[in-house]
Amino acid sequence: MLVAVSVDSQTTMPRCGACQMPANVPASDGVGSLFQVGVIKSFSTPRGDIADLKKTPDPWGDNMATILVTGGAGFLGSHLCDRLIARGDDVLCVDNFFTGRKANIQHLIGNPRFELFRHDIVHDLFVECDQIYNLACPASPVAYQFNPIKTIKTSTIGMINMLGLAKRCRARILQASTSEVYGDPEVHPQTEDYWGYVNPLGPRSCYDEGKRIAESLCMNYHESNGVEVRIIRIFNTYGPRMDPNDGRVISNFICQALRGEPITIYGDGQQTRSFCYRDDLIEGMIRLMDNNEHIGPVNIGNPDEKTMLELAQAVIAETGSKSELKFEPLPKDDPKQRCPDITRARTWLGWEPRVPLNVGLAKTVEYYRQLLASS
């Protein structure tokens, strides 16, 4: 069981079981900073060695897992926390709040199954858990190009730290990879056995190559150390809680339309993307994590391809906006086409997207309408 307690400068930390965190470490010696977000302060009661826990029956008949979600205050991470708590799991949410937002997880504060840690995974993290969902990394071009060195450190050093934690705790770890590993693809739609066409020196390389390295690290830890890994490749996903300023196409289009501003189209608008609603994406992610047969990688996305012009017209129709279209030059290395082949997801996981674009757009537009009105 996880118990939320107050931490102050006089509090000492108990020994942390499998991770062997030393006893009697004052919170003021740097450990306390892992547990503080504003006035939110908490830690786990010790659970002993994870190997022993798996052999010991729970006297309360409680079969929930303790699940670490890195990037848990982000767009997708916060929805994942919601889903896991709803099914009865204990969730350790870790975020450095570079792109994550406290508002995304504010409703979970005070829930006895939820703990929040302000922490950057490029530094060691000492917790115990049964599963790790690694979603920590800026995902929009605006965010990951703001500090490209930081971005690639998250996907390399941070990935090593999370794999090391999984090894110590004997936890299964899922890496949230990306369709960006395919670069500007020459194969369409993209299958998981396609190696991609990526510019290793371009402005997107900090993210693209970082995610490719992270996948390689996962496989190396699995083959060399027996770590249970799962890899999904996330295609364009949208829905409520997307940051309105993150520069992604759907958030850009909707916010511009609601403000009555011209909608910015890069290039001629004929480049394509496929858009998966957040609920469908989270379902696919959980199904792969809980699958005992397949490691991946598995594409999770919507194979219903749309041009940017088609998307802009759909947003204008949904918002009732009178916005016009404004055309700008296409950014360097921006992919011309992006669409997943989801044969593996259908075959291995029994998964496919169920929320059509018009339904998902309606929910997302309403979210942004309320957000803009309140601001």
Cα dist. 236→65, 110, 139, 162, 306 in Å?
Answer: 29, 32, 10, 25, 11
Nearest by Cα to 249 from 192, 315, 169, 344? 315
Task: Give me the half-sphere count of Cα atoms (radius 13 Å) on the Cβ side of residue 126.
Answer: 18
Which pairing describes strands 305-307 and 272-274: parallel, antiparallel, or unpaired? antiparallel
Query: CB neighbours of 52 closer than 8 A, spacing ≥ 6?
Result: none
**CB of 76 within 8 A of CB of 248?**
no
Q: Which of 133, 207, 221, 238 is catalytic?
A: 207
**CB of 265 within 8 A of CB of 312?**
yes
**207 belongs to the catalytic site:** yes
At residue 36, the 3 state secondary structure works out as strand
Distance CA 357, CA 355 (A): 7
Q: Give the length of the chain.
A: 375
Cα dist. 150→174, 177, 314 in Å?
Answer: 21, 17, 36
Torsion of the alpha carbons at 234, 236, 240 and 246, rounded to the nearest 10: 110
- Which residues sit opposite 229 in a β-bridge? 173
User: Could you count the other beta carbons within 10 Å of the beta carbon of residue 119?
Assistant: 23
At residue 178, the 3 state secondary structure works out as strand
Task: Determine the Cα angle at 229 with ends 37 and 219, to 5°.
Answer: 115
Q: Just list the catalytic residues.
A: 207
